[in-house]
Structure 1
Amino acid sequence: MIRYEVALPLIVLAILGVGLVAVSSAATPADFQKQLMGIGLSMVPLVMLWFFGRERLYRFSFAIYGLAVLLLLATMVIGKDVNGSRNWLVIGPLQFQPLEVAKLALIISLARVMKGGYQGLKSYFLPLALFLPVMGLVIKEDFGGAMVLSGIFAGMMLVYRIPIWHFLAVVVAVAIAFPTVVYPRLQPYQQQRLTIFINPMQDARNFGYQQVQGMIAIGSGGLMGKGYKQGTQTQNGFVPFAHTDFIFAAWTEEQGFVGGVFLLVLFGALFWRLSIMGSESPHLQDQLLFAGVLGQMGVQSLENIGAAMSLLPLTGITLPLVSYGLSSLISVITTLGMAYVIHRDRYNSI
C-alpha cells in the first residue's frame, strides 16, 4: 500500500503563499497574474510526472539531458539578451531560461550514472562528462547559474561517497585558483559586482546601490514590518528588482523580522523534509537525486537571501517558490514534483 508524502506539499504550498503575497505587493498586477499563471502551468509537468513514475523518469534522463544541452547551445546562437546576459530563449510567445531545464536534467542524469557509488578514480569520468559540458555552456553568461550547478554537483558528490580529501582538495584548488587566475581575467565591472557586497557603501550610487537599498528596506521593517503594500523603499521603487532578486528585502520590509524568520523557518522545513525523504530511499540512485535537489534549493535560497542582506555577491538568482518568474517557478515546482514521485516509488526496482 502506497503511503503518500503529506508534509512536502504542505510546506511548498506555504512558501508559495508567501511568494504570492510578496509578489502581489512588490510587482505589478500584470506580473502577479503571470505568477498565478505560472503556478497553473506547473500543473502540466506535475501531472506528467505523476503518471510517468520513477522508472520512466530515469529511463528518459539522457533524453532530457540532451534536450537541455541543445537548448543551451541554441541560446548561444539565438538567445535574447536580458540585463547584459544572453541566457534566454524566445520561441513564439514563450520566453524561458534553458538553464532551468539543465538543472533538472543534470540532477536526474547524474543520479542515473552515479547509482553504483564511488569505486575509484574511474568513477569520476561519467559524472564529469555530464557536468562539464553544461557548466561550460552556462558559466560565461550566468555566473549565478554556474554556482547553482556547482552546488548540485557538490551535493551529489558527497552522497556519492567520494573520499573526503578529494572533496577538500577541490575546494582548496578553487579557493586558490579563483582569486589568482579567474578574478584577474574578469572585466573591471565584473570584479566590482563580485566584491562590492563587502562594502556596498563605497559605491552606493552605482554598483552598491541595489544592496544598499536592500539593507535599508530590511532594516526599516523593524520587528513587525510596515504592513502589506506599505513598504516605502519597495513601493516607491528604491529597491530594484524588488519582485525578483530582492523579494526577501521587499517581504521583510513589509512583514518585519518576524516575517523574515517565518520564511526562513519554512525553507528550513523544506530542506529538512527533503533530507528525510532522501534518507528514507533505499536506493543510492534516489539518495543522489535528493542530494542534487537539496543542492539546488540550498544554493539558490542562500545566495538570494545573502545577496539581499549584502552578505554575498549579487548574481541574479531567484528565491525558489517566492520570486517572480515563470520559468524559474515552473522549474522549481517540477523539480520538487520529481522528488515527490521518486519518493513515492522508492521501493520499486529498475
Structure 2
Amino acid sequence: MRYDFRLPIIVAALLVVGLMTVSTAALAPRVSSGIFQKQLLGLALSALPIALLWWAGRDRVYRVAPWLYGLALVLQASTYVIGKDVNGQQNWIVLGPVQFQPLELLKLALIVMLPLVMRGGYRGLRSYLAPLAVFLPAFGLVVVQDFGGAMVLGIMFVAILLVFRMPLLHLLALLLLVGATFPTVIFPHLKPYQQSRLTIFVDPYQDARGQGYQVVQSIIAVGSGGMMGKGYKQGTQSHNGFIPEAPTDFAFATWAEEQGLVGGVLVLLLYGGLIWGLAGMASGSPRLQDQLLFAGVLGQIGFQAIENIGAALSMLPLTGITLPLISYGLSSLIMTLTTLGLAYVVYRDRFEKMI
C-alpha cells in the first residue's frame, strides 16, 4: 500500500510554526510560562487517538459514530451545569488537573455522524430530516455559549450540504434565511462584547483604547514585523504584553511580528497546501460518504484558519476562533490532529469494501 506523505509534511510544518509561536508567546507577561511544555504534551497525547484510528480503520469509526455523537452531546450539555467560565464563556469542563473543551469533540463527532446519515445523497426534501436532526441539537447547545464555535459548526454543515448535492435553489434559500434571521433574531440576543466584536473590525480605530484595542494592537504587531520580521523571540509587541491572547486568538500576529511578511505568507501557503491536499483526497474517494467527511474537515480547518488570520488583520470579525495546529490549546491541538488523522485513515481505506 502506498501512502501520500505530502499531507503529514505540511501538518508537521504547521506544528513547528505553532511550537515556535507558543514558545515566544510564553515570554509575554500574564502568560503562563508552562504553555510550551503543555503544547508539547498535547502533541504527544495526540499520538494515542491517531494510533487508535489507524488500527480501527474507516468502517469501525463509522460504526461507533452514533456513540461518539451521543457522548459529545452529553459533555457539551454538561457545561451548562459543571462548566468552567473562561473569558466569559462557560464551555470548559475541569476534572482535577484535566481541562478540556467538549466543543472540539463535538466537531469531530459531527464530521463522522453527518456523513453516516447522509450517505444516500440528496433524494428530495425528506433527505434533510436526518442531517437536521443531528446538526440542530449540537448547534443549539453551542450557539448559546460560544458564537464563534457555532459559526464553525455552521460552516462545516454548509460544506457537507454542498457535497451532498443539494439543489442550488435550496442553497440560496438557506443563505437568505441566515441573512434574514441573523440581524433580526441572533444578533440582538448576543452579549454586548460579542456584538462589538462583530462590528468593530470595520474600523477598530474608532475605539482604539476600548473594544478595538485587541485588533489595533494586532495590526501594529503585524506591521512592525516588516518584510523579514524582528527575529525569533525578538518580538516587542508580544513580549511587552501589547498583543492580547498572544498564544491563542492572535497567534498569527505573534508569528508575523517575528517572521515578517515572508513568514506570514509561508503560513498562508502551508494552509493552502493543506486545504488543497484534503480537497484532492476528497476528489480521489469514490464513496459519497467519505467525500462528505472530507467536506466537514475542510469546512472546519479552512474556516478556522481564514477567520483567525482575517481577524488578526482586521479583515473579519474577532470571534475567538483558534488557528488550527498553531494556537495554544491542548483540546484544540489534540482534536485537530485526530481529525486530520481520521481523514488520512479514510483516504487509506477508500477502496476497501464497506462492511
Task: State if a TM-score over 0.5 links the two structures.
Answer: yes
Q: Does 1:256 align with 2:257?
A: no
Partner of 1:19: 18
Q: Aligned-pair distance for 1:5?
A: 2.1
Contact (CA 8 Å) 1:301, 1:319: kept in 2 or not? yes
Instruction: Report the TM-score when normalising by structure 2.
Output: 0.97
Partner of 1:170: 174
Partner of 1:35: 39
Partner of 2:351: 347
Q: Aligned-pair distance for 1:189?
A: 3.2
Amino acid paired to 1:67: L
Amino acid paired to 1:307: A
Secondary structure in structure 1 of the residue aligned to 2:92: strand
Amino acid paired to 2:37: Q
Cα distance in 2, alignment partners of residues 57 and 349 from structure 1: 14
Partner of 2:53: 49
Partner of 1:285: 289
Secondary structure in structure 1 of the residue aligned to 2:201: helix
Spell out the pairing of 1:1-350 with structure 2 (5 A cutoff): 2-28=1-27, 29-350=33-354
Partner of 2:30: none
Q: Aligned-pair distance for 1:22?
A: 1.1
Cα distance in 1, alignment partners of residues 183 and 265 from structure 2: 34
Q: Aligned-pair distance for 1:188?
A: 3.4
Q: Aligned-pair distance for 1:315?
A: 1.1
Q: Aligned-pair distance for 1:193?
A: 1.9
Cα distance in 2, alignment partners of residues 312 and 91 from structure 1: 35
Q: What are the Cα deviations for residues 158-205 of structure 1, in whole angstroms up to 9, with x where unaligned?
A: 000000111111112211221233223334333212111111111111
Secondary structure in structure 2 of the residue aligned to 1:348: coil
Amino acid paired to 2:20: V
Cα distance in 1, alignment partners of residues 109 and 70 from structure 2: 8
Amino acid paired to 1:35: Q
Contact (CA 8 Å) 1:147, 1:299: kept in 2 or not? no
Contact (CA 8 Å) 1:87, 1:97: kept in 2 or not? yes
Contact (CA 8 Å) 1:65, 1:106: kept in 2 or not? yes
Contact (CA 8 Å) 1:5, 1:344: kept in 2 or not? no
Secondary structure in structure 1 of the residue aligned to 2:319: coil
Number of aligned residues: 349
Cα distance in 2, alignment partners of residues 185 and 129 from structure 1: 24
Q: Aligned-pair distance for 1:20?
A: 0.8
Secondary structure in structure 1 of the residue aligned to 2:34: helix
Q: Aligned-pair distance for 1:82?
A: 0.4
Cα distance in 1, alignment partners of residues 179 and 26 from structure 2: 38
Contact (CA 8 Å) 1:5, 1:340: kept in 2 or not? no
5+ unaligned residues in a row in structure 1: which ranges?
none
Amino acid paired to 1:206: G
Q: Aligned-pair distance for 1:217?
A: 0.3
Secondary structure in structure 2 of the residue aligned to 1:240: coil
Cα distance in 2, alignment partners of residues 8 and 267 from structure 1: 11
Query: Cα RMSD over matched residues?
Result: 0.9
- How many percent identity over aligned positions? 62
5+ unaligned residues in a row in structure 2: which ranges?
28-32
Instruction: Report the TM-score when normalising by structure 1.
Output: 0.98
Secondary structure in structure 2 of the residue aligned to 1:319: coil
